[in-house]
Chain A
Amino acid sequence: MAESVSVIRFEDVDPEFKRRVMAIPGADKLTYCFQCGTCTAACPIGRRVEEFRPRIIARMAILGLKKPLLAGELLWLCAGCYACQERCPQQVKPTDVIAALRNIAVQEGLIHPSLKMKTELIAKHGRLYEITEFENMMREEVNLPPVPEVKVDELRSLMRRVGLDKLIGIELGSGEG
């Protein structure tokens, strides 16, 4: 028989891992999963990407196959559309489980580069985009008032308070406003 790559060895699993996932709000029913695959059937990404199977992700999380779960782009392909979550007969909340797994990936230093970039932009401008005089000029052309300014100092203080700078390695300033 050809060597199988799908054999799971107990040395590779971490039975405590699921507890860490379930401690994050929304993911507390992870172990209710009975592998029916309704989530995968509902998934617009799974329909297009062979490796992306919410059912398998839930199974891997329960077993504690941490490494392959957190590696690469797998978790970041979820569109967060909640189609699976609406249909899961076990209230597993697969979308929230994947968000929880992403939180853990971030804690392990495995944040997706695009997400880090977006966060830096929000920390800098208070929005994903900088609003300059140009944008406000364009707005005037369609009779729109200028965009209100973001209290970005407050936003940054909140980010500092939850330790975002250390968590993902970005600059948030000194704390003096």
Chain B
Amino acid sequence: MKYALFLGCTIPARLNSYDASSRRVLEALGVEVVDLEGAGCCGTPDMESISHEMALAIAAWNISLAEEKGLDIMVLCNGCHEVLLKSNRMLKEDAKLRKKVNEILSEVGRKFQGTIEVKHMVKVLYEDVGVEKIREAVKKPFKGLRVAVHYGCHMLRPSELLRFDDPENPKILDELVNATGARSVEYPDKFECCGAPILAVNEELSNSIAKYKAQIARKYADVMVTACPFCFLQYEGCQVTGWEGEQIPVLHYPQLLGLALGLEYDDLAINENRIDASKVLEYL
């Protein structure tokens, strides 16, 4: 199990906590990662809003860098997941599109070959490692901790191309949470957007969407769990200003898993989270 780790934009600039906790957990479970040299922004759904053709070309360019290494790509960000996985499948399955994009890539002497896969870390944990093996690796199971998981749109949708899980009734992240001994709860609008994509267009609206979900989550759970830098920043950010009452901590999934695996709080960089999450330790 060896992957080229695709960091994207937001994680290296703003969320070392997600990067560090992911690497610690992957290492503990025997998944090897190497940084993908040369890669940049995945193309973001934003580039697709400008030019469909350019967005595909940028995604294909990033993918070609991993193809050169002969490694599948692992992403931590739902945005990168949507863009890279979708583009990878579209280009593999549509020869005409592939030809068009490869004409653009020839400008820099590269080619999309269609030889690798793109996988979200959550899928790697679920498929390559497996829930059973994770459960066996858990040294300090949580007891009685209620978790509100937030999948995030682009882990699941568009399902036609991402084929991650049942888009209306996904279970992968819930099962991974349950494997730590914690309990993933049901809550209203569980699969709805966090509001992040429109942050730069209408901050107030974007924030209100996150706040709405965090308020619901607080009612049903002790902690929120995400597996995307944008969703994480939304749920922490919306609780920092204009938030009334008790905050609900937000953890990156590998932070939750890492604690159950017996890794240290600070090694998982949970101390870097803006909302104090130390109360989860009481459930170990």
Contact = CB atoms under 8 A, between A and B. Distances in A.
Contact residue range for chain B? 35 or more
Given A24-B52, A148-B35, A158-B61, A115 B46 contact: yes
Interface stretch (A3-11, A32-40, A55-63, A121-129): A121-129
Contact of B50 (A119, A127, A129): A119
B10 interface: yes
Contacts, number: 185
A138 B267 CA distance: 14
Contacts of B237: none
Given A81-B192, A83-B157, A154-B61, A128 B9 contact: yes
Contacts of B202: 73, 77
B108 interface: yes
A131 interface: yes
B41 A162 contact: no
Nearest to A42: B192
Contacts of B200: 114-115, 117-118
Contact of A128 (B16, B41, B50): B41
Contacts of B12: 127, 129, 131, 135, 139, 147
B114 interface: no
Nearest to B19: A144
A127 B97 contact: no
Interface in A36-54: 44-45, 48-49
B132 interface: no
Contacts of A1: none
Nearest to B110: A154
Q: Is the interface of B mostly helix, strand, loop or mixed?
A: helix
Given A118-B44, A149-B38, A150-B40, A164 B54 contact: yes
Nearest to B152: A81
B209 interface: yes
Interface string B27-51: 0000000011111110011111111
A28 to B, nearest CB: 12
B208 A48 contact: yes
A25 B17 CA distance: 37
B51 A162 contact: yes
B49 A44 contact: no
A106 B35 contact: no
B95 interface: no
Contacts of A82: 153-154, 157-158
Nearest to B57: A158
A99 interface: yes
B54 A158 contact: yes
Contact of B38 (A48, A102, A148): A148
B45 A80 contact: yes
Contacts of A119: 46-47, 50
A44 B10 contact: no
B255 to A, nearest CB: 12
B107 A161 contact: yes
B46 A118 contact: yes
Nearest to B94: A25
Interface in A141-159: 141-145, 147-152, 154-155, 157-159
Contacts of A147: 7, 12, 35
5 contacts: A83-B193, A115-B46, A127-B8, A128-B13, A159-B58
- 10 nearest interchain CB pairs? A129-B13, A126-B40, A150-B40, A82-B157, A114-B200, A128-B9, A81-B193, A102-B49, A127-B9, A151-B38
Interface of A: 24-26, 44-45, 48-49, 73, 76-83, 85-86, 93, 95, 99-100, 102-103, 106, 111-112, 114-115, 117-119, 122, 126-131, 135, 138-139, 141-145, 147-152, 154-155, 157-162, 164, 167-168
